[in-house]
Amino acid sequence: MIIRAGTAVINGQICRPGWLQIAGRQILACGAGTPPGQASETTYVEAPNCIVVPGFIDMHVHGGGGGSFTEGNAPDVSASVAFHLRHGTTTTLASLVTADPAELLSAVSALADATRRGVIAGIHLEGPWLSPARCGAHDHTRMRAPDLAEIDAILTAADGTVRMVTLAPELPGSDEAIRRLLDAGVVVAVGHTDATYEQTQRAIALGASVGTHLFNAMPPLDHRAPGPALALLADPRVTVELIADGVHVHPDVVHAVIQFVGPHRVAVVTDAIAAAGCGDGAFRLGTLPVDVESGVARVRGTPTIAGSTATMDQLFRLVAGLGVDRDAALLAAVQMTSATPARALGLDRAGELRAGYDANLVVLDRDLQVTTVMANGDWRS
């Protein structure tokens, strides 16, 4: 199959026109201009008025379409993945919230199976080793300090499927936890933390390489006590997540962060919950009741934001609209929704439209609305 597009972002460059040759699950060849001559039986897909970009990679998402990853329930997992796939997310890291040890082990075991079946790309533990002072929409009564025995039990149950763990580095035992997780090949993220600037620097020196939803669930940046946000921004080894929905972070702050660190260090994430795509109403995130009003999710009876109802295509449009140079903004949006999260998670053959990579792509119209999605060489919408 050969896809001929009016515009395609190939190998990190805008090609007008551009083409991709797909064979099975893989991109066999791609480039700018006109594809080389092919056999008469070659199937062509024409998209002259469309933009083809790499499939979105969401490295922080709790659910969507009414389904949640919280318990690892197979129908819920499938519903969540299918919902976000329709919005261009071809690679999903399933995020869990704080839970008691038995519930956490059960969910990890179930999501490990989903990972082995190729439904998701792995597991993200957002908790339970977080700061009660910055609990956000997590159950603070179930938060606890890192314990190596619990970590080992989870890693055993996961059998290599945990890709990222968010923790608060000021908690006792966090240094040992970071070392153990890194030894197991797990990406360590700093988040839901009350850490100082120096404590965050130490975590980064130990190997933490991601900042979980920058600015949210951490102290605000202060000129005398800069806290974790500046430590994460200032270190070139760190990728920072941004929930660029206009609710969690002001669009001008999103733009400023991108200008400061560059799109190669920013991963746009949804942090979406089951409510995404379901309209306003009552939902749950773990043990906590959540109400969605005007598309904004909050812990019931509080002003605390409880994840988002966003989708990756929505966030793509927002960040692609930042700045005055439209081509530069398009390239930045592609980088932050695909290549940067792929690199942060160590995903091979994902995050770009490049020969030898997996055939994951999104076809957008001129308004950047999703028209169709390909995942592993199959059209899914």
Residue range(s) occupied by CATH 3.20.20.140 in the chain: 56-333
Q: In which residue are the tokens 């990579």 written?
A: 357
Is 163 one of the annotated binding-site residues?
no
Query: Is residue 275 pLDDT above 80, yes or no?
Result: yes
**304 φ, ψ to 5°?**
-70, 125
The pLDDT assigned to 56 comes to 98
Whole-Å CA distances, 52 to 32, 55, 221, 319, 321: 12, 9, 38, 17, 17
Residue 325 among the catalytic residues: no
Structure tokens at 84: 């976000």
Q: Hey, what's the torsion of the CAs at 371, 376, 379, 381, to 10 degrees?
A: -50
Instruction: State pLDDT tens for residues 46-74.
Output: 999 999 999 999 999 999 999 999 999 99
Residue range(s) occupied by CATH 2.30.40.10 in the chain: 2-54+352-380
Instruction: State pLDDT tens for residues 77-131.
Output: 999 999 999 999 999 999 999 999 999 999 999 999 999 999 999 999 999 999 9
Within 8 A by CB and 6+ apart from 259, the residues are none
Structure tokens at 149: 């025995």
DSSP structural state of residue 358: B
Q: Which one, of 1, 3, 9, lies nearest residue 34 by Cα? A: 3
Is 84 one of the annotated binding-site residues?
no
Instruction: State pLDDT tens for residues 249-262.
Output: 999 999 999 999 99
Is 110 one of the annotated binding-site residues?
no
Is 126 one of the annotated binding-site residues?
yes
Is 137 one of the annotated binding-site residues?
yes
Encoded amino acid at 322, one letter: L
Dihedral sign, Cα of residue 122, residue 128, residue 134, residue 136: positive
The pLDDT assigned to 324 comes to 82
Is 376 one of the annotated binding-site residues?
no
Asked whether the beta carbons of 292 and 64 are under 8 A apart, the reply is: no
Specify burial of residue 15 (Cβ count, 10 A radius: 0-12, 13-18, 19+).
Answer: buried
Is 306 one of the annotated binding-site residues?
yes
Report whether CATH 1.20.1740.10 matches the domain 56-333: no
Angle between helix axes 101-116 and 74-86 (nearest 10 degrees) is 60
CA atoms within 13 A on the CB side of 227: 17
**DSSP states of 164-202 as a string?**
EEEE-TTSTTHHHHHHHHHHTTPEEEE-S----HHHHHH
Instruction: State pLDDT tens for residues 343-363.
Output: 999 999 999 999 999 999 999
- Per 3-state DSSP, the chain is made up of helix, strand and coil in percentages (nearest 5) of 30, 30, 40
Quote the pTM value. 0.96
Asked whether the beta carbons of 208 and 229 are under 8 A apart, the reply is: no
Is 103 one of the annotated binding-site residues?
no
Task: Indicate which residue of 76, 139, 271, 358 is catalytic.
Answer: 271
Structure tokens at 147: 């314990």
CA atoms within 13 A on the CB side of 333: 26
When pLDDT is cut at 50, 70 and 90, the band that residue 297 belongs to is very high
Is 213 one of the annotated binding-site residues?
yes
Query: Is residue 75 pLDDT above 70, yes or no?
Result: yes
Is 192 one of the annotated binding-site residues?
yes
> Which one of 2.30.40.10, 3.40.190.10, 3.40.50.12780, 3.30.1120.10 gives the CATH number of domain 2-54+352-380?
2.30.40.10
Instruction: State pLDDT tens for residues 140-165.
Output: 999 999 999 999 999 999 999 999 99
